[in-house]
Structure 1
């Protein structure tokens, strides 16, 4: 029989993981990517003449990538150089209020005791146990599994696991649950930030997101050369197995014939015929017709669907002083509730945002990788996903920049505001990069207990059209999107086998 031909739209991490597995299995795979390099949201920009990470900066859940590479006869160590981090992040609320979180919970407990007292350290240890229990309850029943429903989740957990599902408090919000663990408002604010990893507000996101705390304790790695080395490695492995990559070409339409996806049409009019299509675009792009009217109903429209957070980012190269930067640093605003009310409630940039700073040339110790002259920096603040509307305006972004860098200065970081060589990316630019999202970077916001179940699964409503990426199950983030690619490859191979029979 003829070798099945597969077209993958987008070389994001989900599309790449699917391409690698399908090419390894001998399928004829073509990946079409409008950018000039693979990666999707894992991207690099050149600021002040220097390449630097401009997307995700944290590498976690290494087992996802170990399993992917093992499935194709490779090892992660052969293609990426990873360094485990002992100190995960440095957090600041002011010039004298700093707290470091460590991969070792015992080290973190001691730091919390010094920062907020022994009672809070004991509460932190209780929190870690709950985060660990939540993670292990959902790892196989939800994260690794095909799209679940509440009923199938209970079925996978079984009678013995039903109590664990109840104990993870799926109906509680993260903010409220954290209030049961921490009395110091700064600690509640710190651990509430995990909701932003999924583009959500801690005041609306489910308490189950506390599992991210355990994910980080299981390991955070620095990738030598930057995060862009990850998609580069997967693309090279897929190409070695015969996958073809068409960079610099945009897909304008998914071709549907006889009720089935049969290929794609490119912006220049060329058609690529296929037996199946995998879309690594945000599902909103399908729903809004960015990939043709024939697939607008491929994913059910959820009226309650709320876009996830967007961001304003500044990539710059500059000298710093006054604050001992590590690789990952968070500078907290004084009113966390007001920040998220501004973004999700009022649809505007925060009056005072929390600022994340990634210093790419630093390590996880004060003495690691410090440049005597300049650092490569990515500074990020949360923003409303309104990039497809005339908001935020350049004036609003300028005010946000002033407020953000004033907060850094208040916390002791001496850093000049970005100059002309810096690269500023705001919701309108993210909308251009990822159409249909308004700049939302994580698909659907995880607001309410049902949000996890409302994400589309691998199979769309149109036979032969499969969905991958952070906007589908199991969710946003580099490892989750990678898992979505593996789930799609498995579903497609299963369907091809069924068709042959």
Structure 2
């Protein structure tokens, strides 16, 4: 079969690829490779695909219990186009007008809008004209940072500080502000501590602290202003869409199928052994699992030697989440809502320095029946409430008392802003760091791979290739990072690296010529 990949015609011979994990990266890799004629098998240990993009069903109603924000639509547009599909044919997306509602008590509220002018007006009314001007300057700084980092970092297979600097020029590299923290950079634009607290929360999108994460994360502000969408039917619909498209192109996807070991022979990956003993031979393997699981030996010695060691000190944040059906009173919820704790410095010191649940937590609430003209219509609403937590789920299982104490503090924070929730234990599912550790072994419950603390940390995530030929990595713990679009990019990069290596192997394999002279 003759196909086109990255503008070059190639003939594929049905090479076999085993993909461990049906999360975002694994599904994207499966779709792209199957579309190019490879024999792809995805092996997912859970009952459904999606990985961290999961949902919980309570009383017959599905609640997004993982990522709740869909941005960088262009990533999926490009990936589906490569596979001969159009995103709008398979998903219904509605743009969000209000990005999030923020509260610091019963009266102090601020909405961020998709429109910069509307946000600037709201910030001016909230904190004064200087704050509005500071916001516009911050948005421009974020735009410049994104303009450098999209081509030089996000799209690059293996970026380095030098490659980013040379791609954008030294002046552009300074716009990225890699050598200062996000918190310090925010001080250049906002005197009001509440605004620093608001925009400092972008660090938690990567599971980090704004006091240690580089100012480059300000690019998230530009990403949000470029578009936040509601996915009709929930974020999990993205995973289902990718599965159906991959299967339609010939991929086999097996759920409830844990992998015990990545096999190697002759110095390269040769397949996988399942937990039940079945062996699946393949020409290449993509591990869409947290790198920490490979480093811990969860997939055998050959895979363990192929990746960098992962230290617990480098873990990103975990969480305590409450997925629930609840009656809501007293606060006008939007789809995305943030109820801030008293002091950011103390909150992040609790999380990273003291490794404990924060005394004064910030609480995120995703009201999944609100926004884009959504109306709860008098019935109990689907909510996901989240508090950041330290990633110690493999070393410490919080007892019922500690979880109850955390819940009391979180719901008291909501009540301070006027939000009252009425629910019952049978309408609530609580997940702690130890629960996330069970879902994603060897992570301690960390949800975003390693932390991005310090200017070099973003460049220290592994790329798609490993030290074991034929073994590739995808997912939120590898380059370019955590989150739905970044994990999708990692799957695309893994597919590209694998295809390039297979083409190279075919091009340079040794053949015997007449007379017995080996030729390359």
TM-score by length of 1: 0.97
Partner of 2:328: 320
Offset at 1:421? 2.8
The counterpart of 1:377, out of the listed 376, 383, 392, is: 383
Corresponding residue for residue 457 of structure 2: 451
Post-superposition CA distance 1:254-292 (Å, at most 9, x none): 011111111111111111100000000000000000111
1:329 aligns with 2:337: yes
Gaps of 5+ in 2: 1-11, 508-520
Partner secondary structure for residue 263 of structure 1: strand
CA apart distance, 1:430: 0.4
| Equivalence for 2:140 | 129
Deviation at 1:2? 4.3
| Mapping of residues 8-87 of structure 1, within 5 Å | 8-87=19-98
How far residue 336 of structure 1 moved from its aligned partner, in angstroms, is 1.1
Q: Distance in 2 between matches of 1:62 and 1:389?
A: 38
1:240 aligns with 2:248: yes
Aligned to 1:460: 466
SS of alignment partner, residue 235 of structure 2: coil
Counterpart position of 1:344:
352
CA displacement at 1:489 relative to structure 2 = 0.4
Report the secondary structure of 2:305's partner residue: coil
Give the corresponding residue for 1:256.
264
Q: Which protein is bigger by CA-based radius of gyration? A: 2
Q: Give the aligned partner of residue 471 of structure 1.
A: 477
Match of 1:5 among 16, 41, 44: 16
Match of 1:215 in 2: 223
1:416-435 per-residue CA deviation (whole Å, 9 max, x = no partner) reads 36523311001001001101
Instruction: Please tell me whether the aligned partners of residues 314 and 418 of structure 1 are also in contact (alpha carbons under 8 angstroms).
Output: no
- Mark the runs of 5 or more structure 1 residues left unpaired by the alignment: none
3-state SS, counterpart of residue 357 of structure 1: strand
Superposition deviation, residue 372 in structure 1: 1.1
Note if 1:292 corresponds to 2:300: yes
Q: Deviations over 1:13-34 (max 9, x none)?
A: 0001000000000000000001
Q: Deviations over 1:383-430 (max 9, x none)?
A: 000000124333211100000001100111011365233110010010
- 8 Å CA contact 2:75–2:485 kept in 1: the answer is yes
State the alpha-carbon separation in 1 of the partners of residues 175 and 256 from structure 2. Answer: 49
- Seen in structure 2, the aligned counterparts of structure 1 residues 418 and 200 have a Cα distance that, compared at 3 Å, is farther
Correspondence for 2:167: 156
Match of 2:110, SS state, is strand
- Which of 396, 399, 402 matches 1:393? 399
Per-residue deviation at 1:303? 5.6
Matched, 1:355 2:363: yes
* Residues paired across the two proteins, number: 496
Separation in structure 1 between the aligned mates of residue 189 and residue 171 of structure 2, nearest angstrom? 20
- The answer to whether the 8 Å contact 2:295/2:310 transfers is no
Q: CA RMSD in A?
A: 1.2
Q: Secondary structure at the match of 1:265?
A: strand
SS at match of 1:320: strand
2:324 touches 2:423 (CA, 8 Å); kept in 1? no
Q: Distance in 1 between matches of 2:233 and 2:118?
A: 28
Output the CA distance in 1 between the equivalents of 2:400 and 2:209.
25
Match of residue 5 from structure 2: none
Q: Distance in 1 between matches of 2:48 and 2:38?
A: 22
Query: Deviation digits for residues 295-327 of structure 1, max 9, x if unmatched?
Result: 112112266961000000000001101000011
Shift of 1:167: 2.4
Distance 1:294 1:488 in 2: 19
Residue 118 of structure 2 corresponds to: 107
User: Normalising to structure 2: TM-score of the pair?
Assistant: 0.94
The CA distance in 1 between the partners of 2:392 and 2:401, in whole Å, is 15
The alpha carbon displacement at 1:187 in A equals 0.5
**Superposed counterparts of 1:156-195, under 5 Å:** 156-157=167-168, 161-195=169-203
**Any conservation in 2 of the 1:333–1:354 contact (CA below 8 Å)?**
yes
Q: Work out the CA distance in 1 between the residues paired with 2:377 and 2:316.
A: 35
Q: Give the conservation status (yes or no) of the 8 Å contact 1:405–1:417.
A: no
Question: 1:154 deviation in Å?
Answer: 2.5
| In 2, Cα distance between equivalents of 1:418 and 1:142 | 46
Distance 1:215 1:380 in 2: 22
CA shift at 1:37, angstroms?
Answer: 1.1
Distance 2:51 2:311 in 1: 27
- Provide the rounded CA distance (Å) in 1 between the counterparts of 2:13 and 2:153: 36
1:439 maps onto 2:450 in alignment: no
